[in-house]
Structure 1
Amino acid sequence: MTIWVDADACPVVVRDILFKAATRTKVTLTLIANQMLRVPPLPNITAVQVSSGFDVADNEIVRRAMQGDLVITSDIPLAAEVIEKGALALSPRGELLTADNVKGRLMMRDFMDTMRSSGVHSGGAAAYSAADKQAFANQLDRYLARQR
């Protein structure tokens, strides 16, 4: 089992939680980004730099993810693709996406995108909060506990 991180847009606080969890559990953690990232010098934690471009990091995560893996991303289309391969997705805000709920989230995302394209202002996402951090840490802990 590997945890893959869509690291270009991942909050630093989430990366720190992931580093601590990987250190504690020895789970394989791989961050994928189109820039160089610093990671702790541990054999189970790596960073992969891909070329810049639209969805290059996402495509690399989809290529590498396997059944039973966990992908950390706020990108709903990426989440849908890895879930089709049998992985799970967890947003930095602690929302666990599965085959049961990702289609609804994808439909809502597409609807909101259509609304924004037609000029409706949705206000955007709320600022990342302490509650989001706690929700993420709790979901990650539950996932890791189930894997043992």
Structure 2
Amino acid sequence: MTDQGLQAPEIWVDGDACPVREEVFRVAGRLNLVVHVVSNGARGIRLPEAPWIRRVIVAEGADAADDWIAERIRGQDLCITADIPLASRCLERGARALAPNGRVWTTDNIGSALAGREVARHLREIGAATRGPAPMAAADRSRFLSALETEVQAAIRGVRGAAPTLWRPGLEF
């Protein structure tokens, strides 16, 4: 708990088909941050045994995991998602959002991403061929790790109001 009444940032992972869970676990473990891995049903997602990793299984449904995250994420938290509408909902709550390819979602770029998604949806509806997301490359993982470190440290600074350092449970500010 901080003197401002804020708690340590937590990381919320849109767990279904997230290709960077291991990277998130590595960074969160080093910084002692809680990670919530939210998924629809028990689809066999294997998670390491650690008290700071929390598996959340929500009911089946197109947006059930997104809704669960969006209803609970706090302003100091970070969401890892490729889902643009979920990223937008997290930003609306004051949280940070990061795509698995390392793209940081902000209030400056989320609107055009939502518009592009809507155009692609419309094109698919009228039968036009569209391409899906590019496959995950090594450069994407590297970019993601760098962006994750930057976003987590910024979230910690936001809670602490100080220069970035490692978060330690029980540390009073």
TM-score, structure 2 length as denominator?
Answer: 0.80
Indicate which of 102, 106, 111 corresponds to 1:94: 102
- Kept after mapping to 2: 8 A contact 1:50/1:57: yes
For 1:1-148, list aligned pairs within 5 A: 1-11=9-19, 14-36=20-42, 37-146=45-154, 147=156, 148=164
Look at both structures and tell me which one has the larger radius of gyration over its CA atoms.
2
- Kept after mapping to 1: 8 A contact 2:74/2:94: yes
For residues 110-137 of structure 1, give each alpha carbon's deviation from its aligned partner in whole angstroms, at most 9, with x where no partner exists. 1111111111112222111111111111
- Kept after mapping to 2: 8 A contact 1:89/1:98: yes
User: What RMSD, in angstroms, separates the aligned Cα atoms of the two structures?
Assistant: 1.2
- Partners of 1:89 and 1:18 lie apart in 2 by 13
| Residue 34 of structure 1, CA deviation | 1.4
Identity %: 38
- Partners of 2:83 and 2:35 lie apart in 1 by 18
Q: Secondary structure at the match of 2:142?
A: helix
| Residue 35 of structure 1, CA deviation | 3.0
Aligned residues: 146
Q: Secondary structure at the match of 1:126?
A: coil
TM-score, structure 1 length as denominator?
Answer: 0.93
Instruction: Provide structure 2 residue ranges, at least 5 long, that are not aligned to the other structure.
Output: 1-8, 157-163, 165-173
Q: In structure 2, give the amino acid aligned to 1:20.
A: R
Q: Secondary structure at the match of 1:8?
A: coil
Q: In structure 1, give the amino acid aligned to 2:34.
A: T
Q: In structure 1, give the amino acid aligned to 2:28.
A: A
Which structure has more helix as a fraction of its residues? 1
